[in-house]
Amino acid sequence: MGAPDAASAVRDGIRCMLMRGGTSKGAYFVATDLPSDPATRDDLLLRIMGSPDPRQIDGIGGAHPLTSKVAIVSPSTAEGIDVDYLFLQVGVDTATVGDAQTCGNLLAGIGPFAVERGLVPATGERTTVRIRLLNTGDIATAQFPTVDGRPEYDGDAVIDGVPGTASSIELEVGGGPDKPLLPTGSPTDDVDGNTVTLIDNGMPVVLLRAEDFGVAGTESPSALEDDAVLAERLERIRLEAGPRMGLGDVAEQTVPKLILLSPPRDGGAISTRAFIPARVHTAIGVLMAASVAAALRIPGAVGHDIAGPLAGEETAVEHPSGTFPSRVRVTRDADGTWRATSFSLRTARKLFDGTVFPRPRR
């Protein structure tokens, strides 16, 4: 079935699978089921998700950035890669569709979705899927259980921020040889008069000391979101950091993320509050955590001096709803360039599979 035109999409719908990936939720599509023209596609996705509307009452979005996400999957033409994954962040109360970032949480569902749609065959009791992240150029490997040729979602794995248990999905994400961990080459930079670390281990983030902004770093997400003075300071930093990280003008983008760091309280390595960028994450994104964990291993980087003990590659990253175990391997080239590969255990679950109907017009 090819991509529908506007009239038939409203009348006949579009094939869609809603999945929870990690601590996020999104609509998953095969690329050929959507228009190839980006502007036409984005308009359609806004009407599917119900944006712009803070409630997204006339669409399938969940009225929060963590539940207003889209994953588009297609067979890959790259050698040694099974599928390509394009992530789109759909605005909730704004008519925006951003592609400047990827999503490590929805990444957890890409492998199972590819098997569900017949893009990749299952291989026995465990299936491996190689994934190219089109937004960033990173390459991921996902391993997950399969039974009778289909993904197995039931299991005993637990991740903070998600109730219950599910089968484990092992993810490995690494940047290419031309992608340094520190975009400016320095462990710290001065941005708008603040000492920050600009780092990208799969997600471009700005790391800041919570105490520099008059907060403890233990506040609830809602309390931080209600602090207008803090929000203004952070946005100034974000707008200046974007070009320095090679992202250009980020005024209409959702990257870079900003993460306040403070000493650990619950036995972890560091405590975090992640701005994404206006709302505060109720947990932490997979690749945000990977960027934090990598920074803690770089002398002089923000957070390095307040981190708890780091044992091997595992880092317990504390967040508002628990702790995320982020495993990273950090190396330094002979010329001093820092690089990293991240490993994580996630879960995902198919919520529904069927046909979604966009509203006729915005």
Q: What is the mean pLDDT of residues 299-308?
A: 96
Residue at 177 is within a domain: no
Residue at 210 is within a domain: yes
pLDDT class of 225 with cuts at 50, 70, 90: very high
pLDDT class of 288 with cuts at 50, 70, 90: very high
CA distance linking residue 15 with residue 26, whole number of Å? 14
CA distance linking residue 182 with residue 295, whole number of Å? 9
Residue at 174 is within a domain: no
Reduced to 3 states (helix: H, G, I; strand: E, B; else coil), residue 292 is helix
pLDDT class of 176 with cuts at 50, 70, 90: low
The domain spanning residue 193 has which CATH number? 3.10.310.10
- Let me know the angle formed at the C-alpha of 20 by 18 and 23, rounded to the nearest 5 degrees: 150
**pTM, rounded to two decimals:** 0.81
Residue at 70 is within a domain: yes
Four-residue CA torsion sign, 144, 146, 151, 153? negative
Q: What is the mean pLDDT of residues 252-261?
A: 95
Residue at 178 is within a domain: no
One domain, residues 202 and 272: yes
Counted residue by residue, the chain has a size of 362
One domain, residues 241 and 151: no
One domain, residues 65 and 28: yes
One domain, residues 158 and 54: yes
Q: Of 185, 342, 346, 215, whose CA–CA distance to 275 is shortest?
A: 215
Residue at 266 is within a domain: yes
One domain, residues 224 and 308: yes
- Report pLDDT for 2: 67
Examine the pLDDT at 1 and tell me if it is beyond 60.
Answer: no
One domain, residues 21 and 161: yes
One domain, residues 95 and 65: yes
Q: What is the mean pLDDT of residues 99-119?
A: 96
- Report pLDDT for 38: 96
Task: Specify the higher pLDDT residue, 274 or 1.
Answer: 274
Examine the pLDDT at 318 and tell me if it is beyond 80.
Answer: yes
Could you tell me the residue range of the domain that residue 194 belongs to?
189-345
One domain, residues 206 and 317: yes
Residue at 175 is within a domain: no
One domain, residues 114 and 194: no
Q: What is the mean pLDDT of residues 200-213?
A: 96
- Report pLDDT for 177: 65
Kindly report, residue by residue over 149-161, the tens digit of the pLDDT.
999 999 999 998 8
One domain, residues 120 and 198: no
> Look-up: residue for tokens 């003008």?
249
One domain, residues 150 and 267: no
Q: Of 354, 325, 352, 358, whose CA–CA distance to 20 is shortest?
A: 352
One domain, residues 206 and 247: yes
- Report pLDDT for 5: 75
pLDDT class of 83 with cuts at 50, 70, 90: very high
CA distance linking residue 52 with residue 314, whole number of Å? 40
Domains contained in the chain, number? 2
Q: Of 352, 353, 354, 355, whose CA–CA distance to 13 is shortest?
A: 355
- Let me know the angle formed at the C-alpha of 317 by 205 and 211, rounded to the nearest 5 degrees: 65
Q: What is the mean pLDDT of residues 78-94?
A: 97
- Report pLDDT for 145: 98
Residue at 183 is within a domain: no
